[in-house]
Amino acid sequence: MSSSLHSLQGNKACALAAIAAGCRFFAGYPITPSSEIAEQMSRELPRVDGVFVQMEDEIASLAAVIGASLGGSKAMTATSGPGFSLMQENLGFAAMTEVPCVIINVMRGGPSTGMPTKPAQGDIMQARWGTHGDHPIIVVAPASVQEVYAETIRAFNLSERFRVPVVVLYDQIIAHLIETVELPPKDSIHTVERKWASGTEEGFKPYAETDDLVPVMARPGDGHRLHVTGLTHTEDGFPTQKPDLASRALNRILDKIERNRAEIDKVEQIETADAGTVIVAVGIAARAARRAVQTLRGEGIRAGLVRPVTLWPFPDEALRAATANARNVLVPEMNAGQLIHEVQRVVGGRARVSGLNRVDGEPIPPAAIAQKVRELVADE
Amino acid sequence: MNEIARVSDFDVKDYLRLNLMPHFMCPGCGHGIALRSLLWAVHELGIDRNRLAVVCGIGCSGRTGAYVDANTFHTTHGRPLAFATGLKLARPDLTVVVITGDGDCLAIGGNHLIHACRRNLDITCLMLNNEIYGMTGGQVSPTTTATRVTSTTPTGNAEPTFDACKLADAAGASFVGREVTRQAPALKNLIRAAIEHDGFSFVEVMSDCTEIYGRKNELGESPEMILSQKSDMVPDGLGNAPDQPFRPNRMATGILARHARPEYGRTYRERSAELRAGTEG
């Protein structure tokens, strides 16, 4: 079998990728601009002996996803800003109990009901810090329909591999964009299955520390009768409030992401080797930035682009290296300034960091980014 | 050998995580009787504990599940039915029992209850009703009797309560029952019938909170509270609860409703199989 070309909408590509990654359970609640994912999953899942269920709200949706994942299914939900807000408590539960699950968040204008049919990038910080407490999370931010397909599969693989909720974050433009996508042959798609306990291990501990800090998971029915709780728990899964055990438990779930960055990090860099101005952008804003870099290079301006594909954990090292010799860093984003805080943290005063922000429901055009860079360079 | 051992080979210790004892319920709490009745029913039905999943929410009821030597899930407040929905749909081979409380099930989780009833997935829901928010310190609940004093109704509860069984029946639960902890064998039989029922079963267990509810309202110690259940409950079990909507006492017990409705998970899978057969053909 060879790969095939298809004309696909972003949301449809997402659903097809989920099926290809082995997703067999979807629970969701319709919300613009993510609804096509649920609709597509309702058609695809019965064909592969999977289950689609439309729940009564987003809280129930992620709860059902976690329940299905605890039962052994690869499971996901899809939503948009307000629905993502409702999911935050259960997102924390999944992080705490180390239950793999994938959450698609198609960003729209906010806050509140905002602009449901307009794009935005206002959930960058909600995706990282939305739930309460310190918690591990992985967020990927595709910038094309092709990448929605690839990153959705990678999201499932990372989620299964590290037993952590993974958020796929993109905006309304990419969700509704129709682009030509190359679908790889099914047998070439790399899928990851979580490490399962056989059910016969002596003295099995469901949250035992392993070399890579990711515990082996027990499936109901296989033999190990485990307890799963959102309370801070020890290796045996039962609650504790002892300070040393509590800090050990929390630090392990944070470290399992930090220490395994080599498997998680992904960043696209364009023309950064000699860049005097580095643009940092994600999603649709990064596509505009890519075009701006082309234009600027044509004018002899040494501009480059750093595009975090894995948005969280944030690509500190790559950005630090890319900006080592830069005088200016520009962060165009479709919000009032979220990503820029991380960029400022990493750049740390070594270069001037400026924002280019838009919150009117319209994308940032390449020309606006190029013009802003020209101004920054002229001002050096 | 004592008489009890002769009539039943059920020993609750066989079903508990004894390493977690002593448990942390207050003296006199009715939740232990409810849990024992559930495990007694599980024993009589011969359910493999490897295939038993107990899903709980938050609160006193939420902490009971951990003591069961089975697959136990202590989830977020009000959401155990939603978690259980995903678990049961993904794993129809599991016996899924939800243990929830009056706050967990009727207040924060009220939306999930009515839709779980409507959906009619094969889940057994035990709502332990002690009329109070015990774990957070005795605040008013949707089932607190009118005029009762709680941490948040210092002048007496002014809100009317509602009948959870009528709500479940109206929302489409295909099995609805209520029992008091005073009648442990009857409670066991009711839970057994609920688990055996093919579809969503709602069982309200009238429990008691002696420590922070009974005492505050001078309802007596645990034996007195449990004995008072006798006068308040009508053991007809025929679905004819007296129509006193704002008074939870004088409520009927036993099986209150039983309807033949399609079980959701099987219906979904049958239709999916038909779709696949059609596609292949």
Q: In whole angstroms, give the CA distance from residue A139 to residue A310.
A: 6
What is the model's pLDDT at position B235?
Answer: 55
| Mean pLDDT (whole number) for A53-60 | 98
- Name A214's bridge partners: none
What is the model's pLDDT at position B249?
Answer: 54
Computed over every residue of chain A, the mean pLDDT equals 97
| Mean pLDDT (whole number) for B236-258 | 61
Q: Please choose, from the candidates B119, B117, B125, the residue with its C-alpha nearest in 3D space to the C-alpha of residue B54.
A: B125
pLDDT tens string A234-285: 999 999 999 999 999 999 999 999 999 999 999 999 999 999 999 999 999 9
What is the model's pLDDT at position B222?
Answer: 87
What is the model's pLDDT at position B7?
Answer: 58
In three state form, how does the secondary structure of chain B look? CCHHHHHCCCCHHHHECHHHCCCCCCCCCCHHHHHHHHHHHHHHHCCCHHHEEEEECCCCHHHCHHHECCEEEECCCCCHHHHHHHHHHHCCCCEEEEEEEHHHHHCCCHHHHHHHHHHCCCCEEEEEECCCECCCCCECCCCCCCCCCECCECCCCCCCCCCHHHHHHHHCCCEEEEEECCCHHHHHHHHHHHHHCCCCEEEEEECCCHHHHHCCCCCCCHHHHHHHHHHHEECCCCCCCCCCCCCCCCEECEEEEECCCCCHHHHHHHHHHHHHHHHHC
| Mean pLDDT (whole number) for B196-214 | 95
Q: Which residues from A are below 8 Å from B when comparing CB atoms?
A: 24-25, 27, 45-47, 49, 51, 53, 55-57, 59-61, 63-73, 75, 89-90, 93, 199, 220-223, 225-231, 238-239
Residue A334 has pLDDT above 60, yes or no: yes
What DSSP assignment string belongs to A130-157? -SSSS---EEE---SHHHHHHHHHHHHH
Mean pLDDT check: name the lowest of A351-360, B189-198, B230-239: B230-239
Q: A368 CA to chain B: closest CA distance, Å?
A: 46
- Total residue length of chain B: 281
pLDDT tens string B153-182: 999 999 888 889 999 999 999 999 999 998
pLDDT tens string A202-226: 999 999 999 999 999 999 999 999 9
What is the model's pLDDT at position A184?
Answer: 96
Q: In whole angstroms, give the CA distance from residue A152 to residue A127.
A: 16
Q: In whole angstroms, give the CA distance from residue A106 to residue A167.
A: 10
Nearest to A64 among B53, B85, B94 (CB): B85
Size of interface A-B (CB pairs under 8 A): 138
- pLDDT band (50, 70, 90) for residue B238: very low
Closest B-chain CA to A47: B276
A88: helix, strand or coil: helix
Largest CA distance in chain B: 71
Write out chain A residues lying below 8 Å of B95, CB-based: none
| Mean pLDDT (whole number) for A45-74 | 98
Q: B61 CA to chain A: closest CA distance, Å?
A: 14
Domain ranges, ordered by start, for chain A: 4-188, 195-264, 267-379
Name the CATH superfamily for A4-188.
Thiamin diphosphate (ThDP)-binding fold, Pyr/PP domains (3.40.50.970)
> Are A29 and A57 spatial neighbours (Cβ–Cβ below 8 Å)?
yes
Does A64 sit within 8 Å of B89, measured CB to CB?
yes
Run of H or E residues at A280: strand A277-280
Residue B219: partners with Cβ closer than 8 Å, 6 or more residues away: B210, B213, B225, B228
Does A70 sit within 8 Å of B73, measured CB to CB?
yes
> Are A220 and B94 spatial neighbours (Cβ–Cβ below 8 Å)?
yes
Strands A138-140 and A310-312: antiparallel
Residue B230 has pLDDT above 80, yes or no: no
Residue B244 has pLDDT above 70, yes or no: no
Does B90 sit within 8 Å of A56, measured CB to CB?
no
What is the model's pLDDT at position B1?
Answer: 45
Nearest to A68 among B50, B90, B93 (CB): B90
Nearest to A220 among B69, B94, B271 (CB): B94
Residue type, B182: R
Q: CATH top-level class for A267-379?
A: alpha beta
What is the model's pLDDT at position B243?
Answer: 42
**Domains of chain B, start order:** 29-235+249-278 (3.40.50.970)
Q: Please choose, from the candidates B106, B91, B178, the residue with its C-alpha nearest in 3D space to the C-alpha of residue B144.
A: B106
What percentage of residues in chain A have a pLDDT greater than 70? 100
Closest A-chain CA to B114: A56
| Mean pLDDT (whole number) for A322-337 | 98
CATH fold match for the domains A4-188 and A267-379 = yes
> Are B262 and B276 spatial neighbours (Cβ–Cβ below 8 Å)?
no
Residue B247 has pLDDT above 50, yes or no: no
- pLDDT band (50, 70, 90) for residue B12: very high
pLDDT tens string A339-348: 999 999 999 9
- pLDDT band (50, 70, 90) for residue B281: low
Residue B241 has pLDDT above 50, yes or no: no
Does B83 sit within 8 Å of A67, measured CB to CB?
yes
Does A68 sit within 8 Å of B86, measured CB to CB?
yes
Task: Among A59, A76, A98, A222, pick the best mutation site for testing chain B contact (most B Cβ within 10 A).
Answer: A59
ipTM, two decimals, is: 0.97
Computed over every residue of chain B, the mean pLDDT equals 90
Does A60 sit within 8 Å of B111, measured CB to CB?
yes
- pLDDT band (50, 70, 90) for residue B232: low
| Mean pLDDT (whole number) for B22-37 | 95
A227: helix, strand or coil: strand
Task: Among A44, A53, A204, A241, pick the best mutation site for testing chain B contact (most B Cβ within 10 A).
Answer: A53
Residue A376 has pLDDT above 50, yes or no: yes
Residue B240 has pLDDT above 80, yes or no: no
Does A53 sit within 8 Å of B85, measured CB to CB?
yes
Nearest to B272 among A49, A61, A72 (CB): A49
Does A46 sit within 8 Å of B86, measured CB to CB?
no
Closest A-chain CA to B271: A46
What is the model's pLDDT at position A1?
Answer: 66
What is the model's pLDDT at position A173?
Answer: 97
What is the model's pLDDT at position B231?
Answer: 65
Q: Please choose, from the candidates B281, B271, B104, the residue with its C-alpha nearest in 3D space to the C-alpha of residue B204.
A: B104
